[in-house]
Amino acid sequence: MKIHNLEPNSIQLSFSNLETIRYYKEKLVQTLKTKSNLEFHFEDCALSTSVAPSILHDYAYCATQSNPSIQVFLSQSIMRLLSQHETNEMLDEVALSIASVHLNELIQACIPSSPLKITNCDTHQISHSSGLYIEFKLRLNLQMMSVLIKTTYDHLMSFLAQNAHSQSRNLDLMLDVPFVTRVEIGQISKSIKEILELTPGMILELNKSIHAPLDVVVNKNVIAKGELVEVSGNYGLEVTHICQSLDKSSL
């Protein structure tokens, strides 16, 4: 899942904050799959301090805690799924009650918190109030669904600090540890005799095509690839690919 910070000047998230958000997203997806027996996928997540008016019509329901430090706005498609209500009509009280139970089961299975109560949504709750908005986009087969969480920056930071995933809790302490980063054009294998015979003007043929991207290497791991560019008269590298299979434990 990609996390898009649409306002980096006002929303500051550390590396461990992002990892914690990803951890709870994975936990929620697994719980959702287990309870519904459906194959959900999270497409992406966006953080901002405002909501585009064009998407307000997607949210027809609002879930709130007794302490309104957080509000969850839900699209009709998700509500129909939670309530097992197959028509496009607004949900009645019984269907809302069923959806509330299922939503709280999901939330409690992932993150223990006070129960949420679902009501019909007034879009003025979103458009006329300030706060921090986190929009999750989900996909079920070809159908797109969305969840919008309204909270505050301080509340989010407090939650992430108190509920940090154990593997990400100390990541920020390590981020300033220096690593030597090398850009490799290619490699060649030579015997000691051949090395001793090197003379000026001799051409060495490397093991990589001239059109192949260059490797960015950290601690013997290729972490990215890119193309050679000039930067203020110096060599530079334009990154064209990030290696997703990087084993973080080997850094």
- Residue 212 in 3-state DSSP? coil
Q: Contact 111/128 with Cβ under 8 angstroms?
A: no
The per-residue pLDDT for range 92-105, each reduced to its tens digit, is 777 777 777 777 77
Lookup: tokens for 166: 């154990």
Instruction: Give residue 246's pLDDT.
Output: 54
- How does pLDDT run across 133-142, given as a tens digit for each residue? 888 888 877 7
Structural domains of the chain, with CATH:
2-172 (3.40.1550.10), 179-250 (2.30.330.10)
> Average pLDDT, stretch 104-112?
70
Asked if residue 238 lies in contact with residue 214, where contact means CB atoms within 8 angstroms, the answer is no
**73 and 147 in contact (C-beta within 8 Å)?**
yes
Asked if pLDDT for residue 50 goes beyond 50, the answer is yes
State residue 77's pLDDT score: 76
Strands 132-140 and 143-151 come out as: antiparallel
H helices, E strands: number in the chain: 7, 11
Closest to 7 measured CA to CA, from 122, 129, 135: 135
How many angstroms separate the CA atoms of 222 and 239, rounded? Answer: 12
Rama region for 139: left / alpha / beta (φ>0; ψ in -120 to 50; rest): beta
The average pLDDT across 166-185 equals 76
**Is 250's pLDDT higher than 80?**
no
Banded pLDDT at 122 (limits 50, 70, 90): low
Q: Reduced to 3 states, what is the DSSP secondary structure of residue 172?
A: helix
Strand partners of residue 239 = 226
For 47-107, give the DSSP string: EESS--GGGGGGEEEEEE-SSTT-EEEEEHHHHHHHHT--SSSPP-HHHHHHHHHHHHHHH
Question: Residue type at 109?
Answer: A
**pTM as predicted:** 0.62
